[in-house]
């Protein structure tokens, strides 16, 4: 168990809808990252938040947005969903102590199916 909790584990929704994925990082970790894993694109970094502020952006679509709350949990919002958004969405957290790189600890993922 990595200590990172993602809910829900599975989500099935229709095209055009909006969903919210939730992530609780490991206790004490200030950084939260979101990744998308799909068969055709592999694992792609979407976005990072550090202590409530956006820190880095990857291949995140404009239809997607994220935020990190004061209690450090994070939500990834996906809107106007398309069939191609079906994927496994991972959240990871990292302590990011002193600016040095440490490994990221991954949650179990949320499997999103758009029908």
Q: Does 53 bind other proteins (CB under 8 A)?
A: no
Count, residues near other proteins per rule CB under 8 A: 28
- The interface with other proteins within residues 31-50 (CB under 8 A) comprises 31, 33, 35, 42-45, 48
Taking the CA atoms of 11, 105, 53 and 85 in sequence, report the sign of the dihedral they define. Answer: negative
Distance, in Å, from the CA atom of 18 to the CA atom of 97, rounded to the nearest integer, reads: 35
> Which residue's structure tokens are 């949990």?
73
What is the tally of helices (H) and strands (E) in the chain? 0, 11
Q: Does 89 bind other proteins (CB under 8 A)?
A: no
Work out how close the CB of 106 gets to other proteins at its nearest, in angstroms, rounded to a whole number: 4
Q: Does 100 bind other proteins (CB under 8 A)?
A: yes
Nearer to other proteins, 91 or 114 (CB): 91
Q: CB under 8 Å to 47, separation ≥6 — which residues?
A: 33, 34, 54, 56, 57, 58, 60, 64, 66, 76
Rule CB under 8 A: which residues touch other proteins? 2, 4, 31, 33, 35, 42-45, 48, 55-56, 58, 90, 92, 94, 96, 99-109
């Amino acid at each position: 168990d990595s200590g990172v909790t993602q809910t829900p584990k599975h989500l099935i929704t229709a095209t055009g809808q909006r969903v919210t994925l939730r992530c609780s990082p490991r206790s004490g970790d200030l950084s939260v990252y979101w990744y998308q894993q799909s068969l055709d694109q592999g694992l792609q970094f979407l976005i990072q938040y550090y202590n409530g502020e956006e820190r880095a952006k990857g291949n995140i679509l404009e239809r997607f947005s994220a935020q990190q709350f004061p209690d450090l949990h994070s939500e990834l919002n996906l809107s106007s969903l398309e069939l191609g958004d079906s994927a496994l969405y991972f959240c990871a957290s990292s302590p990011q102590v002193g600016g040095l790189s440490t490994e990221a600890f991954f949650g179990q993922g949320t499997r999103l199916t758009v029908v």
